[in-house]
Amino acid sequence: KLKDRECRCLVLGLDNSGKSTVVDWILATYKNRPRQSITPTVGFQIHTVPFRGHSVQLWDVGGQSTLRPYWDNYFDKTDVLLWVVDAAAIARLEESMGELTTILRNRDRLGYNCRIVVLLNKKDLAAELPTVLERLQRDLVREWRLENVPIEVRASNALDGEGLATLLPLVVWGRE
Ligand code: GDP
């Protein structure tokens, strides 16, 4: 059935982490759309991307703090929550992890079997990337796996797409 072929990926994270740039890379790569100059996401946008016979919906939700109370509304039936982090903004790492933790504590609102991918974006600017990666693996991933939350951490550069090619395979995973 066509419905079974629809997958949903919710793209969330603090403002300026690179969400729109990640989405732009995906649209350029899988829909042959020319890359576009990015303006801050206002409200939200839904994009549909064909991938391996699936129809992947990308929900790009603005990250400004005024919009955060509305994130909840989009959680339904999410297959993958892509949590985008500016890995170069060490000063905002705690805020970002705090927001993610709030979501994970209320994860009954997410779709059944929703998987979490934490994307450490702007790896090209992140001199401290190995430290951040190690810290998240040790604290976040271990802690939530104990609670049976499937969560993994990836690093990416959304400008050139490094680290992004494995995202859509993750989203459709389990649907084939
Ligand atoms: P959003 O607010 O989370 O949607 O963030 P944007 O996608 O608008 O990106 C914020 C800024 O970071 C823009 O100027 C992007 O060009 C830049 N940016 C996004 N990803 C990367 C990356 O991987 N590396 C670098 N150097 N800049 C990036």
Give dist(CA 113, CA 138) in Å, integer: 23
pLDDT digits (tens, 9 = 90+) for 88-120: 999 999 999 999 999 899 888 887 689 999 999
Q: In CATH, what number does 7-172 get?
A: 3.40.50.300
- Gap between the Cα atoms of 156 and 121, Å rounded: 5
Task: Please spell the DSSP secondary structure of 44-57, one letter per residue.
Answer: EEEEEEEETTEEEE
∠ CA 154-157-159, rounded to 5°: 150
Residue 3 confidence (pLDDT): 62
Which residues are designated catalytic? 64
Could you tell me the distance, in angstroms and rounded to a whole number, from the CA of residue 3 to the centre of ligand 1?
33
Q: What is the pLDDT of residue 123?
A: 98
Judge if the beta carbon of residue 121 lies within 6 A of ligand 1.
yes
Query: Does residue 74 contact residue 10 with C-beta atoms inside 8 Å?
Result: yes
Please tell me if the CB atom of residue 67 comes closer than 6 angstroms to any atom of ligand 1. no
Edge-to-edge order in the sheet of strand 6-13: 44-51, 54-61, 6-13, 80-86, 115-121, 151-155
Domain boundaries, the chain: 7-172
Please report the atom of ligand 1 found closest to the CA of residue 60: 4
Q: What is the pLDDT of residues 118-162, one digit of tens each?
A: 999 999 999 999 999 999 999 999 999 888 899 999 999 999 999
Going by the annotation, the residues of the binding site for Mg(2+) are: 20, 41
What is the best residue among 12, 21, 123 to mutate for testing ligand 1's pocket, by most ligand atoms within 8 Å of CB? 21
